[in-house]
């Protein structure tokens, strides 16, 4: 059943004054505790009683006591007010020092390349931060997904985001296994890809990513075909190493298997490029200490 919620104007006004008087059983001591005048405390309590429609205190010239409704109100309002104060202190604490849950949305390929080398040292340096890494190649809305920041290739980051560079620009390379290239030959031109099994990437928007090349200052996009479509680069790379076909991936992703002789690059002279990998977040006004600590740590170990 749908419920209607209304915010009552001034519903919390006078609560702190009431609790102080109930604690000290004295208006002057309550005023001194709150740093205000006794008349201000008295006015706040009278306004609260008017809203409640009943007296909360029994006042004499020598003493202050709680009425029965006042005691009931104290029993419930006291713990609730303490919870509100504790909640405010927790928020202030989180805004002043690195603490709390830090959620990041990152592509799978970024985890071993950028995050794995620094996770252990970051967790040791900031034990009060809980780091959560959601590895997915889907482009997510950070606010809707509850993420503090994301990591993506520069060309896929919205212009209204704050972007922090993590890598220099790098090339997209076409790679194939030695066995595949021996069986099918090396492509010498982009047009030769029509005769090759090309492993393709489906982006999170559903589109098949074209392969990108450059010819001088001219960007070229080639629509290729082949037996496999994947949603992430590690899957494409693994299939290429098994000899299924050629794959186009960011160079940092392919560097190790190339160095180990598991893959060979082709068409290097016309390789396209990307601006690099960036961490991005929407915090133009203020970056929470937990995220600032993560950014600074990433830069220090890069």
CATH number of the domain bearing residue 285: 3.40.190.10
Look up the domain containing 85 and give its range: 15-94
> What pLDDT does residue 169 have?
92
My answer on whether 121 and 176 are in the same domain is: no
Read off the pLDDT of each residue in 215-232 and give the average, rounded to a whole number. Answer: 92
> What pLDDT does residue 85 have?
74
pTM: 0.65
Strands (E), the chain: 57-59, 64-66, 100-106, 129-135, 149-153, 162-165, 170-176, 198-201, 211-215, 218-222, 229-230, 246-250, 264-266, 273-274, 277-281
Q: Per-residue pLDDT for 11 more than 60?
A: no
Q: 10 in a domain, yes or no?
A: no
Q: 183 in a domain, yes or no?
A: yes
My answer on whether 67 and 151 are in the same domain is: no
My answer on whether 111 and 236 are in the same domain is: no
* C-alpha atoms less than 13 angstroms from C-alpha of 205 in its C-beta half-sphere: 5
My answer on whether 81 and 25 are in the same domain is: yes
Read off the pLDDT of each residue in 166-189 and give the average, rounded to a whole number. Answer: 95
Q: Per-residue pLDDT for 163 more than 70?
A: yes
Question: Which of 35-49, 87-101, 157-171, 256-270 comes out lowest in average pLDDT?
Answer: 87-101
> What pLDDT does residue 5 have?
33
Q: 7 in a domain, yes or no?
A: no
My answer on whether 176 and 159 are in the same domain is: no
Q: 184 in a domain, yes or no?
A: yes
Instruction: Grade residue 184 by pLDDT with cuts at 50, 70 and 90.
Output: very high
Q: How many domains does the chain have?
A: 3
CATH code for position 48: 1.10.10.10
Instruction: Grade residue 8 by pLDDT with cuts at 50, 70 and 90.
Output: very low
Show which of 94, 115, 150 is a domain's final residue: 94
> What pLDDT does residue 64 have?
87
Q: 295 in a domain, yes or no?
A: yes
Q: 5 in a domain, yes or no?
A: no
> What pLDDT does residue 6 have?
36
**How many Cβ atoms are within 10 Å of 212's Cβ, its own excluded?**
18
């Amino acid at each position: 059943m749908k419920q209607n919620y209304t915010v009552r104007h001034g519903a919390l006004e006078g609560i702190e004054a009431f609790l102080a008087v109930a604690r000290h059983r004295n208006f002057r001591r309550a005023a001194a505790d709150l740093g205000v005048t006794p008349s201000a405390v008295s006015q706040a309590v009278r306004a609260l009683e008017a809203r409640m429609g009943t007296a909360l205190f029994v006042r004499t010239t020598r003493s202050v006591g709680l009425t029965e409704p006042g005691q009931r109100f104290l029993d419930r309002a006291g713990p609730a007010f303490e919870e509100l104060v504790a909640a405010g202190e927790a928020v202030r604490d989180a805004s002043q020092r690195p603490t709390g849950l830090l959620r990041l949305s990152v592509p799978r390929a970024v985890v071993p390349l950028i995050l794995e080398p620094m996770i252990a040292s970051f967790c040791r340096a900031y034990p009060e931060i809980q780091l959560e890494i959601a590895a997915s190649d889907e482009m997510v809305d950070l606010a809707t997904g509850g993420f503090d920041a994301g990591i993506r290739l520069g060309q896929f980051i919205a212009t209204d985001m704050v972007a922090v560079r993590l890598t220099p620009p790098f090339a997209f390379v076409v790679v194939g296994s030695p066995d595949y290239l021996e069986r099918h030959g090396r492509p010498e031109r982009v047009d030769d890809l029509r005769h090759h099994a090309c492993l393709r990437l489906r982006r999170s928007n559903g589109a098949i990513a074209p392969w990108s090349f450059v010819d001088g200052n001219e960007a070229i996009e080639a629509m290729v075909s082949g037996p496999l479509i994947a949603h992430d680069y590690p899957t494409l790379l693994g299939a290429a190493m098994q000899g299924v076909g050629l794959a186009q991936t960011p160079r940092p992703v392919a560097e190790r298997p190339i160095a180990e002789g598991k893959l060979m690059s082709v068409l290097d002279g016309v390789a396209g490029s990307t601006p690099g990998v960036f961490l991005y977040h929407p915090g133009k006004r203020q970056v929470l200490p937990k995220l600032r600590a993560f950014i600074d740590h990433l830069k220090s170990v890069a």
